Amino acid sequence: MKYLIIILFILFPVMLSAQTLINKNIIAQIETGETALLNARWEQANRTYDSLRQENQTSPVGYLYLAGVLQSKMIAFEENLESDRFFSLLDSTIILSKKILADCTERDSALCYLLLGHQNAYRAMWESRFGSNLSAISYGFKARNRYDKGVEIDPTLNDLYFGLGSYHYWKTVKAGILTWTGILKNDRKKGISEINRAIDSSLFSKNAARSAMIWVYINEKEYEKAITLAGEMHEKYPDGNFFLWPQAESYYKLKKYPEAIEIYNTILNRIKAEPGNYFNIIEAVYHLYQSYIKSNDKENADRMLLYFDSIKDNFPKQTRRKQRRKILFLDRRL
């Protein structure tokens, strides 16, 4: 879910500072779509951004936002949905951004490189979920290069530092031993600093950077900070599960099992009402079982096992592969 939360916010801040790519009507549409998206109202978000695309067909904005809806839904459900349309929208983003770059102001040029960076980030995320890890790394480097180019053109566009900070931090975390040995540079602190710069000084990326910091806090084992920030974000977007997941994980890692149980149960009850979404059902059931056991509540732990047993034959092949370890763990306790 951490990627999902970072991806959801990548798009929103970008366009508000542009002089030729934005107006008050577009801002209002972006905000309406964002609210729908973060509240998991997928169709409403899609309609809003499709209207934006149709009204501004020479602008890359609507195309990228529509791709963002698909990306968010794919990550939320852990399913490869409408990938042909997804990549077509990203291709349109590239074509239209390059047309604008041929003749525009420095600010619009920096914004276009931000858009080009984002579409590469989307491709990297898709590859990490459904394709090749090597391709994901390649697209990640391309995204960073586009962000760097944007900073070179207009270093005052602080929204760029959200993308760069996320790249620098998670690249270092994922590199592991390669940074310890000096093969790759350790940019962990640099990434955190850049995300904080976006929080403090970006035009419209403050929520995006705060969202990214939730998962940085968790990775840094600063769980109380993650709970506080995720709680603030959930208050703003209460109908989505995006900020419930990091709260539940933080409570679980703090061994505050009653609080973790309450939130995981909320998540489970919500996603039970959705068709499919077995990946996240398994995730919630696994953590609920563990939390009940660690709370010496065998009755509710057994209830989780019975529920798991009643649905496991419905798991798609892809879900079985991705959740193999947790499925095996629960199966052995039946």
Mean predicted confidence (pLDDT) in 188-201: 94
Q: Say what the pLDDT of residue 278 is.
A: 95
Give the CATH number of the domain where residue 19 resides.
Answer: 1.25.40
CA dihedral of 99, 103, 109, 114, whole degrees rounded to 10: 0
Lookup: tokens for 75? 């990550």
Cβ atoms within 10 Å, residue 73: 19
Contact between residue 69 and residue 45 where contact means Cβ atoms under 8 Å apart:
yes
Return the pLDDT at 43.
96
Residues 11 and 150 in one domain: yes
Q: Which of 156, 174, 193 is the last residue of a domain?
A: 156
Give a yes or no: residue 188 inside a domain: no
152 and 252 part of one domain: no
Reported as a pLDDT band with limits 50, 70 and 90, residue 97 is very high
Mean pLDDT is lowest, of 160-164, 177-181, 245-249, 318-322, for 177-181
Domain range for 304 is: 248-331
Q: pLDDT tens digit string along 272-330?
A: 988 789 999 999 999 999 999 999 999 999 999 999 999 999 999 989 999 999 999 99
Q: In terms of Cα–Cα distance, which of 19, 42, 65 is closest to 241? A: 42
Q: Region 180-207: what's the mean pLDDT?
A: 82
Q: How many domains does the chain have?
A: 2
Of 121, 156, 191, the residue that ends a domain is: 156
Q: Choose between 141 and 181: higher pLDDT.
A: 141
- Indicate whether 208 pLDDT > 60: yes
The answer to whether residues 133 and 270 belong to one domain is no
Angle at the Cα of 208 (from 10 to 124), degrees rounded to 5?
35
Inside any domain, residue 228: no
What average pLDDT does the structure give for the chain?
90
Do 138 and 270 sit in the same domain of this protein? no
Say whether both 151 and 259 belong to one domain: no
Q: Which amino acid is at 21?
A: L
Helix (H, G, I), strand (E, B) or coil at 295: coil
What tens digit of pLDDT does each residue of 114-127 get?
999 999 999 999 99
* Alpha-carbon span 146 to 154, nearest angstrom: 12
Q: Are residues 151 and 276 in the same domain?
A: no
Q: What is the pLDDT of residue 17?
A: 41
Tell me: do 9 and 117 sit in the same domain. Answer: yes
Assess whether 9 and 149 both reside in one domain. yes
175-185 burial by CB neighbour count: b if 16+ within 10 A, else e?
Answer: beeebeeeeee
Q: What percent of the chain has pLDDT over 70?
A: 90
Query: Which distant-in-sequence residues (6+ apart) come within 8 Å of 236 by Cβ?
Result: 38
Q: Are 114 and 147 in contact (CB under 8 A)?
A: yes
DSSP code of 15?
G
Q: How confident is the model at residue 113 (pLDDT cuts 50, 70, 90)?
A: very high
Angle at 248 between CA 137 and CA 237, to 5 degrees: 80
Residues 32 and 144 reside in one and the same domain: yes
For residue 316, being part of any structural domain is answered with yes
* Alpha helices (H) in 56-187, listed in sequence order: 61-77, 83-101, 106-130, 133-153, 160-175, 177-180
Q: How far, in Å, CA of 135 to CA of 128, rounded?
A: 8
Q: Per-residue pLDDT for 261 more than 70?
A: yes
Query: Under a CB-based contact definition with an 8 Å cutoff, are residues 259 and 251 in contact?
Result: yes
Max mean pLDDT among 14-23, 73-82, 193-202, 203-212 falls in 193-202
Is the same domain home to 152 and 271? no
- Residue 233: pLDDT over 60: yes
Region 81-105: mean pLDDT is: 95
- Whether residue 190 lies inside any domain: the answer is no
Q: What is the pLDDT of residues 150-166, one digit of tens each?
A: 999 999 988 899 999 99
On whether residue 205 sits in a domain, the answer given is no
Residue 239 forms part of a structural domain: no
pLDDT at 275: 78
CA neighbor of 241 nearest in space, from 204, 221, 269 = 269
3-state secondary structure 211-243: HHHHHHHHHCCCHHHHHHHHHHHHHHCCCCCCC
C-alpha distance from residue 220 to each of 170, 173, 195, 210, 265 (Å) = 12, 10, 14, 15, 26
Give domain status of residue 227, yes or no: no
Q: What does pTM read for this prediction?
A: 0.88
- Residue 213: is its pLDDT beyond 70? yes
| Domain annotation covers residue 200 | no
Choose the final residue of a domain: 156, 174, 200. 156
